[in-house]
Structure 1
């Protein structure tokens, strides 16, 4: 009989609750302990995982004997201190929500930690696992070698979070870190190369300008363009608009090489699709070869059970499926390593810097 794997969760706001729903779909798993300091979120988490013990701190969580791994879904700016506390107290396998860090000064702490932390750290980059994006990645060889990659995200504004932490750059690392680091991760994954130059233009034109928190107006950006050049010679572009929730598809990704163009069309969360429009759109992948012209359109439906368990097109389930396989020794290492998480944030920080200064930012390899 397969041994039950026991999880501890740090942070159970919207994303933490999505993790709870998806862990519950996996056989042989149990959420044994949860740390969530907000009373309302803790109550919601307890309703999803009634068997879990609610604790008052990270330290109390680490004292729970019956734990095999931890999931960190706390606000972005808390991740590094919490990882450090876990490293010093009780290193366990970790699944850490993106972004891995927000303060540029914390990169060095993580680079040191990766050599001393002798358990796997998996960075949660859900977009890799969205069925239409996974299907696009599986078709990439049909391009004959990707030379251009573009990602367009037209979506809704930032949602309300506990304590409104996501309204300010100091807590999020900036929109192109908080919201977009998983797109930069996709760029590196698809192109199999590291970035060398980042140029960006963006601003705050519409969202949150009429809000005030303790007398402070939010400073997070709501739109922009980012161009990334890679060591391989390939180029990638990100187009972000966070006041375009009327779009049929939330993400449109295209990869182009000398032999074909491949696109993935990804709808946003089904709960935001208006009832009067009928059923939400089905994700698609479109393969457009250069010879024998004629796009081939493939619907990529997602299991309704997985759609009901979160806002990410079933990807959180598939991510947890892989994480569990690693915990059981069926997978040798994380799909998304600490280095992947570091690179994704560095690219986002470079985009933020380029927007602020108006200059191209050059990137070198991080320390290993």
Structure 2
């Protein structure tokens, strides 16, 4: 059986989804809705056999359709999910964040309780090979995680269609838009829910002089977030979006009474300096307390997957699993509940940083 996809949004991330879906067996993107003319033209070139439509209603009316992938700007997700629910409930892979406005929490919760088909929230960082290896081994290596640190030192926000990602009211704010991945990882790795959030963040280097249609960009480019969990574990996020010169983009450290496990993930291969050797290899480092002696395990990613996107192969692995959800009836590994929690944590961090206070969850 060929799995037939409808694609909602074909910007930069939408193009990555196209390339990764095409790497899967027995898949076809049959219909696409993208309102931006330039992005639509790129999608039509990449998908000569797909039908381009001018509305979500028209996409949902398309007969040859088995599942949906939502890759529209953040602030569109909730309304589009509700429109789909009203017209044709199909399996969905929805890009993060699930919603952006705190007022939409009730709607997101109601949608999660009532939507009859599976929905996978696209937290692809779970599926980066070194991160997946850390998740699998963390409990055994640490003896129970007490401290979890996630550091992302990366490039600035890239240009998006209509500059939507330069404004908090569209993106949800940096700690939602960019960091909900990491809050999702915290809950997953620690196997617990957060109870309080403390953050300090701001706009320090990037975007200071950016003005779009007469409005100054208010998106942040750095921050620290500390999260306490019900289990008693603590987690910290460190974000810098003016550190593209780093050897590794993501670094995760989990520590417990038995030892420590860490992973290092390089940034997109296309950004690696051409005058230098090949990008570093992603890997895991296991560091027991006794007997002492760190051990490195490389987790290389096939070149075809690196070429298909900017997320260390994880978009492909995510789509493999989503394909099983649709064809075999498996439950989504990243649920709507997971997506809601990740947004709530990001929104709490935004409030904490803005109001200089601890936010209880």
State the TM-score, normalized to the length of structure 2: 0.99
Deviation at 1:44, TM superposition (A): 1.1
Q: Deviations over 1:111-149 (max 9, x none)?
A: 111222100011000100000100111111211001100
Deviation at 1:332, TM superposition (A): 2.2
Equivalent residue number for residue 322 of structure 2:
323
Deviation at 1:284, TM superposition (A): 1.1
Equivalent residue number for residue 175 of structure 2:
176
Deviation at 1:51, TM superposition (A): 1.3
Secondary structure in structure 2 of the residue aligned to 1:227? strand
Equivalent residue number for residue 243 of structure 1:
242
Secondary structure in structure 1 of the residue aligned to 2:347? helix
User: How far apart are the structure 1 equivalents of 2:126 and 2:296?
Assistant: 21
Equivalent residue number for residue 211 of structure 1:
210
Equivalent residue number for residue 43 of structure 1:
41
Equivalent residue number for residue 219 of structure 2:
220
User: How far apart are the structure 1 equivalents of 2:11 and 2:213?
Assistant: 22
Equivalent residue number for residue 357 of structure 2:
359
Secondary structure in structure 1 of the residue aligned to 2:212? coil
User: How far apart are the structure 1 equivalents of 2:113 and 2:230?
Assistant: 26
Q: Deviations over 1:255-299 (max 9, x none)?
A: 001001000000000000001111011101000000010100111
Q: Deviations over 1:65-101 (max 9, x none)?
A: 0100000000000000000000000110000000010
Secondary structure in structure 1 of the residue aligned to 2:237? strand
Q: Does 1:143 align with 2:142?
A: yes
Secondary structure in structure 1 of the residue aligned to 2:102? coil
Secondary structure in structure 2 of the residue aligned to 1:152? strand
Secondary structure in structure 2 of the residue aligned to 1:281? coil
> Structure 1: which 5+ residue stretches go unaligned?
364-368
User: How far apart are the structure 2 equivalents of 1:326 and 1:88?
Assistant: 22
Equivalent residue number for residue 298 of structure 1:
297
> Structure 2: which 5+ residue stretches go unaligned?
none
Secondary structure in structure 2 of the residue aligned to 1:245? coil
Equivalent residue number for residue 343 of structure 1:
341
Q: Deviations over 1:135-167 (max 9, x none)?
A: 111111211001100000000110000000000
Q: Does 1:120 align with 2:122?
A: no
Q: Does 1:272 align with 2:271?
A: yes
Equivalent residue number for residue 153 of structure 1:
152
Deviation at 1:206, TM superposition (A): 0.7
Secondary structure in structure 2 of the residue aligned to 1:277? coil
Which stretches of structure 1, 4 residues or longer, exceed 6 Å deviation after superposition? none
Secondary structure in structure 1 of the residue aligned to 2:181? helix
Secondary structure in structure 2 of the residue aligned to 1:345? helix
Equivalent residue number for residue 289 of structure 1:
288
Deviation at 1:203, TM superposition (A): 0.8
Q: Deviations over 1:20-65 (max 9, x none)?
A: 1000011111000000111111111122222110000100000100
Among candidates 101, 104, 127, match of residue 102 of structure 2: 104
Q: Deviations over 1:212-245 (max 9, x none)?
A: 1111110011111000000000000000000010
User: How far apart are the structure 1 equivalents of 2:116 and 2:257?
Assistant: 43
State the TM-score, normalized to the length of structure 1: 0.97
Secondary structure in structure 2 of the residue aligned to 1:110? helix
Q: Does 1:133 align with 2:131?
A: yes
User: How far apart are the structure 2 equivalents of 1:144 and 1:85?
Assistant: 46
